[in-house]
Chains A and B, each alone.
Chain A
Amino acid sequence: MPLAALLGAAALTLGACASDRSAAGSSFQPVRPGVLTVATAFLPAPGFWQGRPPTFGLEAGLAAALARRLGLHRVEVVQVPFAQLVRGKLHGADIALSQLTPTKERERSVDFTTAYLDAPPGVLARKGVEASDVHSLQGLRWVVSRLSTLTPIVTDRIRPSRPPVVVDDRSEALAVLRSGRADALLLDLPVALGLAHADWRFQVLGQLDGGEDLAGALPNGSSNGEVVDSAIRALQADGTIDQLVSRWLGKSEDDVPLILTEQ
């Protein structure tokens, strides 16, 4: 009898636990009631934001899952230039999801959420290009973007034998790569995987050691930090983010070979 009572209590508790999934602590305060407003820079961003309206992709899926978790009914997307996003200008959005890597400088302008993806540097190359170690990477023709936090890694750790082509932003860098004027471009690995998954002309040669993360950004001083962090951890724990990675990036970061650049 006590065992039956214990099992009954466990079943009731479990049923109750499964029915609601919000965390302990403060609740989410959206800018617009019932709506999660998300700012992003690149539309479309292969693997992350696709479709019209942009409802497909890893970050689109993450935004939808976050909205569900936070008890909101829908997601609205606003496009904001990247330079403005990292300066904290979210144009009235609750959160920015735009393949952002937290840096100390950016932290002065925005509050970063807990990371939702590891983002070591990944080498995106044209199909047919081959390189498996740092020496062969040095022999490639590189394109780098002035604004990217990864550019110093190309110049200081890979040290290409030829000067890289320098462009203003990622879109231009991809155009250079497509045109064949360069062989390789260093991107955050999830971004590189998303591009390679969406465009047959690209492949990911490998990932470099060390790395950063991808995180969301909230307006400076936002009261939603704790509840959004908890929601992201919950989505990691229940496998939602893994499912999104496998669907939109094609393969896991663990499947990408590591290329050591520091001896």
Chain B
Amino acid sequence: MTLLAAITAPSGPVFEFFVLFAVILFGPIIFSRFRLPGLIGLVLGGFAIGAHGLGWISAGNHTVPELGHLGLLYLMFVAGLELDLQVLKDYRRAAVVLGLFAFAIPAAGGFLLGQALGWSTAASCLLGALASSHTLITYPMIRDAGLGSNPAVASAVGATVLTDTLALVALAVVSGSQTESGSGVRILVELAIGFVVLLVVGLILLPRAVDAAFRVWGSDRVGRYVVIIVALLFMAMLAQVFGIEGIVGAFFAGLALNRLVPNEGPSMERVEFFGAAVFVPVFLVSIGLLLDPSVMFTGETLKLALWICLVALGGKAIACWLAGLLLGFSRPERAVMFTLTAPQAAATLAVTLIGFEIGLFGTSVVNAVLVLILVSIVLSALLAERVIEWLPSRVVHRPPLGGKVLVVTTSTGPSDAAVRVATLLARPDGGHSEVMITRTPTDPAPDRSALRAVEKRIFRHGFDGHVRTDVVQLDDAVAKAILTTEPSLVIVDEPSFDASPAHVPVLVVHGVTPSPRAVRLIAAADDKNGVAAEVARRLARADSKLFRGRRRTDAEAAKR
């Protein structure tokens, strides 16, 4: 009996972390069985363990909401990091038109709805921002169906940059007006200065600083990840200094590092891993803690949810229809734009949570928005399945020149020039590079320390990719890599290499510094001129920058 009396119900931080991570594990698994998005499982799991559910995480708990806030910053950072800026550049006219329509129409609808409901101007503005943002949840479905390069799809992807940026600017203005003291003009000036600082730091200083940090600490995987996290938190903090919400700074940090952390590279793998495993799920669970069935399933909240759904989804439908009409897209193309711009998740949750924290939204609005998120995701996922059938023209997407650059080298490892050429060609496309070190059966196998030394050396040149080894002749390695790894460009670090042109261009590096004169192109006759011109343009642009360091590079090459 004494022993049994000593056993107490579990409580405290360890128990709270246990239930939190149990929800993160089982929530998505259970809901995916019902073909529902995992994020719904996380939000409902948060409700289950929260004060309105089983009460395992009390209403006064600070740890989960604070971790959730970090998750929110992370979510917005990844949103900026993942955006394909090249697509925005390639389809800028269509993206700008759709982006403005997809922001302005739902935003106006949200604002008018707020006013009609008797809300304050600030709350109405925030409702507009909430309705205007969207998240590309259905994009993987559309891309996997071979529609990634469809102009309508590309325009919707590019428009997301503009739409979400404008929604976050609106959030910053509204939240600044509520949390800062002083006259409207003073607050506006402070916010304007803040945005200028964020733009200058985000577009100019931060990428350079992070690039320099990667070159110094980049060979250490942990160091590389921590540099990224420090950059994210620095920008969030910088935004807060100027009275702008931290998530705006986090989004700018994502845009700033967009080129330095390629979507397919190992750094992005790590960013996504920690985001998917910890930060983002914790944020979604913390949102679930706010879910209150006694509030959600009331006539008032459901009526509010219906109105918000009509404004947000109706606004997006009108925007896509009008923009599509103006840009000459077909009906199925307008439908695909709607399926991409309708889902409400990351930015919507961010705006809602900030609105809640600053007292502009009550729990009924939060619960109504959760209904909107559920409806928009389910609706757009179902519609996406249909739209894929309506758009039969599966255009074979040709990856950009620097999308995936493979450097093939002999057993001595890649030269500095080859690695720098790879980085210079990959970065403008947000692509990544990989190195394959080949050796003959008679060459000794490289030990871990030798490979580590190679990694350390090439990371100093801004390289972000995997280093692999293979027992194969150089000629065979190139042919095999083209067939199996589907690179966009192969760089061969052996001046004597020669081969017949294939469907993937091959660049032979024979100089010691990266310049148009130091490379020889092997490409099919039909696109040789285009590839050659692009390679020359990218290397020439870097040539002048590198000129200052050429003496050192030559010295290094001589050493090697």
Question: Which residues of A are interface residues toward B (Cβ below 8 A)?
Answer: 7, 10-11, 13-27, 102, 115, 118, 212-213, 226-227, 229-239
Contacts and interface: CB of A to CB of B under 8 A. Distances in A.
Given A23-B120, A24-B365, A102-B59, A14 B359 contact: no
Interface in B160-189: 173-174, 176-181, 183-185, 187-188
Given A14-B187, A14-B188, A23-B359, A238 B181 contact: yes
A209 to B, nearest CB: 10
B362 interface: yes
A21 B60 contact: no
Contacts of B325: none
B350 to A, nearest CB: 15
B253 interface: no
Contact of A11 (B119, B127, B185, B356): B185
B60 A24 contact: no
Given A115-B60, A226-B364, 6 more contacts: A21-B120, A21-B122, A23-B123, A23-B359, A24-B361, A234-B359
Interface string B103-142: 0000000000010011111111111000000000000000
28 contacts: A7-B192, A14-B176, A14-B177, A15-B184, A16-B122, A17-B120, A17-B122, A17-B125, A17-B178, A21-B120, A21-B122, A22-B120, A23-B360, A24-B119, A24-B124, A24-B355, A24-B360, A24-B362, A25-B365, A115-B59, A118-B62, A226-B364, A229-B363, A233-B357, A237-B178, A237-B179, A238-B178, A239-B181
B358 interface: yes
Given A14-B173, A25-B361, A20 B356 contact: no
A212 B363 CA distance: 22
A213 B61 CA distance: 10
Nearest to B118: A27
Contact of B362 (A15, A23, A238): A23
Interface string B223-237: 000000000000000
A10 B178 contact: no
B521 to A, nearest CB: 43
Nearest to A233: B359
A169 B364 CA distance: 39
Given A14-B188, A234-B178, A229 B121 contact: no
Nearest to B359: A234
A230 B188 contact: no
B364 A235 contact: no
Question: 8 smallest A-B Cβ distances: which pairs?
Answer: A234-B359, A24-B123, A17-B177, A25-B362, A233-B359, A17-B122, A226-B362, A16-B121
B58 to A, nearest CB: 9
Contacts of A19: 121
Contacts of A232: 359
Given A102-B59, A233-B357, A20 B120 contact: yes
B184 A229 contact: no
B184 A18 contact: yes
B184 A11 contact: yes
Nearest to B122: A17
B172 to A, nearest CB: 10
B359 A18 contact: no
Contacts of A231: 359
Nearest to B126: A24
A237 B185 contact: no
Contact of B125 (A13, A102, A115): A13
Contacts of A233: 356-359
Contact of B179 (A7, A102, A118, A239): A239
Given A17-B173, A23-B120, A102-B59, A235 B362 contact: no
Contacts of B174: 13, 17
Contacts of B114: 24
B184 A230 contact: no
A234 B174 CA distance: 13
B129 to A, nearest CB: 11
Contacts of A18: 177, 183-184, 187
A246 B123 CA distance: 29
Nearest to A235: B359
A18 B177 CA distance: 5
B464 to A, nearest CB: 36
Contacts of B120: 17, 20-24
Given A18-B187, A24-B114, A237-B179, A230 B121 contact: no
A216 B14 CA distance: 29
A13 B178 CA distance: 12
Contacts of A15: 184
Nearest to A13: B125
A229 B356 CA distance: 10
A232 B188 CA distance: 25
A230 B363 CA distance: 8
Contacts of B184: 11, 14-15, 17-18
A27 B365 CA distance: 14
| Residue among B59, B120, B121 facing the most chain A CB atoms (10 A cut-off) | B121
B363 A213 contact: no
A24 B117 contact: yes
Nearest to B364: A25
| Residue among A17, A229, A231 facing the most chain B CB atoms (10 A cut-off) | A17
B359 A20 contact: no
Interface in B61-89: 62
A7 B119 CA distance: 24
| Residue among A14, A15, A227 facing the most chain B CB atoms (10 A cut-off) | A14
| Residue among A13, A22, A238, A239 facing the most chain B CB atoms (10 A cut-off) | A13
A185 B398 CA distance: 74
Given A17-B125, A18-B177, A23-B360, A10 B60 contact: no
A11 B176 CA distance: 12
A24 B361 CA distance: 5
A213 B60 contact: yes
A13 B121 contact: yes
A21 to B, nearest CB: 7
Interface in B354-391: 355-365
Contacts of A21: 120, 122, 178
Contacts of B122: 16-17, 20-21
